[in-house]
Amino acid sequence: MKEQIINLLANFVGNDIEKSFPLPYFLPVYHCVSDENSPHLNHIINYKNVKQFEQDLDYLSKYFQFVNWGEFKDFINGNFTPKNKITLLTFDDGFREFYDVVVPILERKGIYAVNFINPAFIDNKDLMFRCKASLIINEIEKNKEISPEIYNILQFNSDSKSEIKQKILQLNYHKTETLDKLTEVLEININSFLKEQKPYLSFDQLKSLTQKGFGISSHSWDHPLYNELSLSEKLETTSKTFDYLKNNDFLYESFAFPFTDFGVEKAFFDELFKNKEMFCTFGSAGIKLDSVSKNLQRIPMETGENAETILKKEITYYQLKGIVNKNKILRK
């Protein structure tokens, strides 16, 4: 019902998006752009193809001024006055397509972006647990029958491949061992996949991107869901990544939460920002304010819709939430 109401009301949002957009900044987030079918992503990310991505950029360029990291910082600090509302383009996870596909488009259009990466996956040393889940589901879909060993590992029984898929997608960061057992049963060689497909950026590519003027920043060490970690675990993975980025001359002064910042306590931010070199953090809750003023929310752009539809729905939802004063995330 909520989705139907938003879809209906979004039709009444005017075309002057810059005027109706309620914040002075717009922070889109993508993961991948590709015309190829990527088995490690196709069950977890509804990524856009090249044409769709370029259409998004062209649409956003009509209403927002794309800025680089320095301009973004100056704007937040009140030292930069743009011609229009600003947008900082962001990507997460450090997938290889950022180098091969995205950057040539951005260079042609003169647009800056920052990619938030996980050092554990640089040079394809490992594969994020959700990507393993996607590979597993692809393999199960290929097979006519489901091995009894899969049921035993999952401790779940169903004749429905759809239900099996959902069960696999529910396996979290702490269930990586279960995912590894499934890859063994299905004879999925993760090391071979990493070596042959190279899903992630290499260290040399990251350095090249920095030299080209793009930002490489922090997304935690190995992509856990933060509300499933203890406070000390949150701080450890964040600090470890900060040190790695700083030691290698990357953009160490920002951090984007993997998955979501939902449920992350105020105490984490209090501890994190004791580090005066940390400028800001990013969530992905859409158009929202945050009781932690240095935590800025981004808008996910991989919903299966174009930028115009996404923006109009986000604006509508913000307006509806405003009626009941629910437009601000309150941290406890």
Instruction: List C-alpha distances in Å: 61 to 24, 65, 66, 147, 299.
Output: 15, 6, 7, 50, 16
Residues 6+ apart with CB under 8 A from 88: 25, 27, 66, 67, 69, 72, 112, 114
Q: So what's the pLDDT on residue 10?
A: 78
> Which residues, in sequence order, are bridge partners of residue 257?
none
The predicted pLDDT at position 9 comes to 74
pLDDT for residue 307: 98
C-alpha 140: how far from chain center: 26
So what's the pLDDT on residue 16? 80
* C-alpha triplet 127, 128, 132: angle, nearest 5°: 75
Q: What is the pLDDT, as a whole number, of residue 27?
A: 98
Q: Which H helix or E strand runs over 231?
A: helix 231-247
Cα distances (angstroms) measured from residue 36 to each of 33, 101, 108, 177, 206? 9, 11, 21, 29, 22
Which CATH number is 2-125+201-329's, of 3.40.47.10, 3.40.228.10, 3.20.20.370, 3.40.50.300?
3.20.20.370
Q: How far apart are CA 214 and CA 217, in angstroms?
A: 10
What is the number of H-type helices and E-type strands within the chain?
15, 13
**Residue 79 and residue 231: Cα distance in Å, rounded?**
34
Instruction: Round to the nearest angstrom and report the end-to-end CA distance of the chain.
Output: 30
What length does the chain have?
332
Q: Which residues of the chain have pLDDT under 70?
A: none
CA 123 to CA 130: how far, in whole Å? 18
Residue extents of the structural domains in the chain? 2-125+201-329, 129-194
Give the model's pLDDT for residue 34. 98
Whole-number pLDDT of residue 188: 97
pLDDT tens-digit profile of 156-188? 888 788 999 999 999 999 999 999 999 999 999
* Predicted pLDDT at 18: 84
Residue 57 contacts residue 163 (beta carbons within 8 Å): no
**CA dist list (Å): 250 to 159, 206, 208, 269, 279:** 48, 9, 11, 22, 14
Q: With H, G, I as helix, E, B as strand and everything else as coil, classify residue 44.
A: coil
Mean pLDDT of the chain: 96
Report the C-alpha gap between 254 and 244 in whole angstroms: 13
* 48 DSSP 8-state letter: B
Helices 129-142 & 190-197 angle (0-180, nearest 10):
100
The string of pLDDT tens digits covering residues 87-115 is 999 999 999 999 999 999 999 999 999 99
| Residue 264: closest CA among 322, 222, 220, 316 | 220
Q: What is the predicted pLDDT for the residue at 143?
A: 86
Dist. CA 37–CA 47, nearest whole Å: 10
pLDDT score recorded for residue 121? 98
**pTM listed for this prediction:** 0.96
Q: 202 φ, ψ to 5°?
A: -85, 165
